[in-house]
């Protein structure tokens, strides 16, 4: 999936650093008051948070960060459960902040699963230490904090998805934009070279689109582009992706489609689209270009070949029009 810059690295570094500082203060406090039985646990937590802080500050790979975060929280959860068995009153401050920490650092599903495991494990120990009323109060507090953290994480995930959609979508047509097209070309070319399967690209350009925009206005032009994309979706395979460059040219990325298939598809699209009446615009004149990936070809060259055929067809149409007049 296409990624935009929404890194948590600096925030995670600060968070782990603050937790390390808090663990240091707690260690000093436990030493001062003679709680030597849990002093070692806090020293271990200092090492864990310190490692996580340093790692998040130097690492920029989200794939590795995700697993380091889950290992860090699993280690903290195990330390909490061990300490809970003999010092429950001094462990609740860690248990209560665990949902906040986990939902901030982990993917939503992972954080939910880890919190359920911590809740069940903690409850299985607390029922032998406290009475039912106290256990219920502790579980309710933990659940309330967990639900608030879950709601925050869910809303934040929705916001990130919307930002991602805005980053990769052409607002006029609803298709993917040119930036995402280049990203997908690099990805599909690498996959095609690895699997030895063909990859094709079909370009469909609405002739005189600037004139249509000038004559009929932006609203009618946007409506035209959206309807054009919906017509294409109905005529394409499930795995084919549609892109728009913002200037009336649509690109269709066709994985595992040889040159014969793309020629047949081009004829079928033109046959269906030529029959459509596009509201106030009427009939459309389409210029097409197609390309099949060559050995060791780069994305920019691949895209240029498809677009070059569109330009040549436009120039040929202009020559024929001038000749007829």
The pLDDT score that the predictor gives to residue 317 is 53
Domain count, the chain: 2
Residue 4 forms part of a structural domain: no
Q: Are 251 and 243 a contacting pair, CB within 8 Å?
A: yes
In this structure, the answer to whether residues 134 and 53 fall within a common structural domain is yes
In this structure, the answer to whether residues 37 and 148 fall within a common structural domain is yes
In this structure, the answer to whether residues 142 and 195 fall within a common structural domain is no
In this structure, the answer to whether residues 114 and 240 fall within a common structural domain is no
In this structure, the answer to whether residues 40 and 111 fall within a common structural domain is yes
Residue 310, Cα to own-chain centre: how many angstroms? Answer: 32
Domain boundary among 168, 186, 201: 168
For residue range 83-139, what is the model confidence (pLDDT) as tens digits? 888 888 878 888 899 999 999 888 899 999 999 999 999 989 888 888 888 889 988
The pLDDT score that the predictor gives to residue 251 is 94
Would you list the DSSP string of 238-307?
Answer: TT-EEEE-SSSEEEEEEET--HHHHHHHHHHHHHHHTT---GGG-S--EEEEEEEPPTT--HHHHHHHHH
Return d(Cα 90, Cα 36) in angstroms, integer: 13
Overall residue count recorded for the chain in this entry = 325
H helices of the chain, in order, are 9-33, 36-58, 62-84, 92-105, 108-126, 132-168, 178-195, 209-235, 259-273, 299-324
Residue 314 phi/psi, 5° resolution? -65, -45
Domain boundary among 140, 168, 196: 168
The pLDDT score that the predictor gives to residue 13 is 87
> What CATH number is attached to the domain comprising 249?
3.30.70.270
In this structure, the answer to whether residues 27 and 120 fall within a common structural domain is yes
Angle CA 34–35–38, to nearest 5? 150
Domain boundary among 144, 168, 192: 168
The pLDDT score that the predictor gives to residue 5 is 42
Would you give the DSSP letter of residue 204?
A: E
The pLDDT score that the predictor gives to residue 295 is 86
The dihedral built from the CA positions of residue 188, 190, 195 and 198, taken in this order, carries a sign that is positive
In this structure, the answer to whether residues 15 and 164 fall within a common structural domain is yes
Domain around 271: 178-324
In this structure, the answer to whether residues 68 and 159 fall within a common structural domain is yes
Return d(Cα 155, Cα 223) in angstroms, integer: 31
Which portions of the chain are predicted below pLDDT 70?
A: 1-9, 60-61, 314-325
The pLDDT score that the predictor gives to residue 320 is 52
Return d(Cα 83, Cα 91) in angstroms, integer: 7
The pLDDT score that the predictor gives to residue 3 is 45
């Amino acid at each position: 999936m296409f990624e935009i810059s929404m890194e948590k690295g600096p925030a995670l570094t600060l968070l782990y650093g603050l937790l390390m500082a808090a663990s240091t203060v707690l260690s000093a406090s436990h030493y001062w008051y003679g709680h030597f039985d849990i002093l070692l646990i806090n020293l271990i937590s200092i090492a864990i948070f310190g490692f996580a802080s340093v790692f998040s500050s130097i690492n920029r790979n989200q794939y590795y960060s995700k697993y380091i975060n889950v290992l860090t929280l699993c280690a903290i959860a195990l330390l909490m459960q061990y300490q809970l068995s003999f010092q429950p009153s001094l462990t609740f401050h860690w248990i209560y902040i665990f949902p906040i920490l986990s939902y901030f650092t982990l993917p939503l599903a992972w954080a939910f699963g880890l919190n359920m495991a911590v809740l069940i494990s903690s409850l299985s120990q607390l029922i032998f230490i406290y009475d039912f009323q106290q256990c219920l109060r502790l579980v309710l507090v933990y659940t309330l904090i967990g639900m608030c953290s879950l709601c925050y994480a869910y809303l934040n995930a929705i916001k990130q998805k919307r930002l991602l959609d805005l980053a990769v979508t052409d607002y006029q047509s609803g298709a993917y934009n040119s930036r995402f097209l280049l990203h997908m070309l690099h990805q599909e070319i690498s996959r095609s070279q690895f699997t030895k399967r063909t990859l094709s690209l079909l370009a469909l350009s609405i002739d005189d689109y600037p004139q249509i925009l000038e004559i009929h206005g932006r609203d009618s032009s946007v409506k035209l582009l959206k309807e054009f994309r919906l017509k294409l979706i109905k005529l394409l395979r499930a795995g084919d992706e549609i892109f728009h460059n913002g200037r009336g040219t649509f690109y269709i990325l066709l994985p595992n489609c040889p040159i014969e298939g793309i020629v047949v598809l081009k004829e079928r699209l033109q046959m269906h689209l030529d029959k459509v009446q596009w509201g106030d615009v009427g009939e459309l004149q389409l210029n097409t270009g197609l390309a099949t990936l060559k050995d060791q070809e780069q994305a920019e060259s691949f895209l240029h070949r498809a677009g070059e055929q569109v330009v040549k067809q436009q120039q040929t149409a202009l020559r024929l029009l001038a000749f007829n007049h």
